[in-house]
A = this chain, B = another copy of it.
Amino acid sequence: MQSKSRKEEMAALKEEARRLGFSSVSERNDALRLIASGLERDWQAIKEANDEDVRQATGAGLAPSLIKRLIYSASKQREALAQIADIVRAADPIGTPLMRRELDEGLVLTQIAVPIGVIGMIFEARPDALVQIISLCLKSGNAIILKGGSEASRTNAALVASMRTSLGASSLGSGWIVLLESRSDVAEMLAMEDVIDLLIPRGSKEFVSYIMSHTAIPVLGHSDGICHLYIDETADLNTAVAIAYDAKTQYPAACNATETILVHSTIAERFIPAIKERFGGEVAIHGDERVAALIDCIPYRAGDWSIEYLDLSVNIRVVDSLDEAIRHISTYGSGHTDAIVTTSQSAINTFFAQVDSADVFANCSTRFADGYRFGLGAEVGISTQKIHARGPVGMEGLMSTKYLLDGSGQVVATYSGSEARPFTHRLLPIEGDSHA
């Protein structure tokens, strides 16, 4: 593709984004329903494209975990259709009033939610993620540029072709979706800071880290999930063991699985043998000297506290106080999810106040850190950054704001100088009509 036509294509995409931003919710919901029925209609073609991608990937010796993510099965399609139905049912996020303030009589300020504009999505394998993010962008009025992995190129092309055909029958058209060819360099997309307002990478930790360090565009995502579980001196032993077992083993490959268990010295002699027994042979325990004095374990080596195992390995460390546990988390954690098990309300309060992570939990598993479990609806991603959105992010992560000021002829000169008229600055109820 030549650079001139790409530039024109990008200008057109920004204009499509603006138009999508003021479409009605019924137009957007109709388009979502057309997409869903189109995916059913085109199932055979999508399936064949996916079978071929899987065949090629298997032949090329791709990792089984990658192949598993690549398969777009009938059950993944059913889940995708169910998610689209959920997104149709969700409230319209565009135009939601966030604040209303009278500045003076007949001069009312309203802050409302608006789409961000153009979302860039870069993902490995995962054709189901493509369907989900396009649907979320449509509902929230955002245009999208997609760059999928080459291993899923046939599936992605078939899915996008199906959606484009369906959208051709809608009032919104399909100009707001751009699928970059697999042969295009991802670097091209990372350099589009004039076009793309927010990048959402989906894939492995290494992949997301690479994206974050190679673009000037804001990135929604997280590169590390070094999560901690702290067993306080007052913890109930059975609760502590049950939560630790779940936090490590329920799905160890997830970013919200616990990597290090910190144990207060008062309870260490009871908890550590108990969790070792509960883990049985399943989990490899890396312990410091105080752990090694209680159970057989792999001796701690420098650097272990900073490892995201993502498998059935865990660090255990004995600490002498809540404060020491919090310092460990602050030093070695990644600000993702950290939890305390305790029966002390004061310990919960301290942990909640002092641990600076996206998710801070008491008396439950770190594995609850998830947009679906949080009740946010479809998940845009999990963010460990502190700007814009933090933690599991729902559709609100695709929204920005704008201020509307509705006047009746006011000029600033009236409110300036020695005889300045004062502002009233009176907060108004958010719900209610504009004459309140």
Contacts and interface: CB of A to CB of B under 8 A. Distances in A.
Interface of A: 15, 18, 21-22, 101, 103, 107, 109, 111, 114, 116-117, 197-198, 213, 216, 218, 236, 239, 242-243, 245-247, 250-251, 330, 348, 352-354, 356-365, 367-369, 373-375, 386-388, 390-392, 400-413, 415-416, 423, 425
Given A109-B374, A348-B406, 6 more contacts: A103-B375, A107-B364, A116-B386, A218-B387, A362-B406, A363-B408
Contact of A411 (B22, B359, B364, B412): B364
Nearest to A353: B22
Nearest to A215: B216
A212 to B, nearest CB: 9
A50 B117 CA distance: 45
Nearest to A109: B374
A197 B374 CA distance: 26
Contacts of A197: 386-387
A198 B387 contact: yes
A325 to B, nearest CB: 14
A416 B250 contact: yes
Closest 4 pairs (CB-CB, A-B): A364-B407, A246-B411, A375-B425, A367-B412
Contact of A373 (B18, B242, B374, B415): B415
A391 B407 contact: no
24 contacts: A18-B356, A22-B354, A103-B375, A109-B374, A114-B356, A117-B356, A197-B386, A198-B386, A245-B411, A246-B412, A358-B403, A359-B405, A360-B402, A360-B403, A361-B406, A361-B407, A364-B410, A364-B411, A367-B411, A368-B405, A368-B412, A369-B405, A387-B400, A392-B403
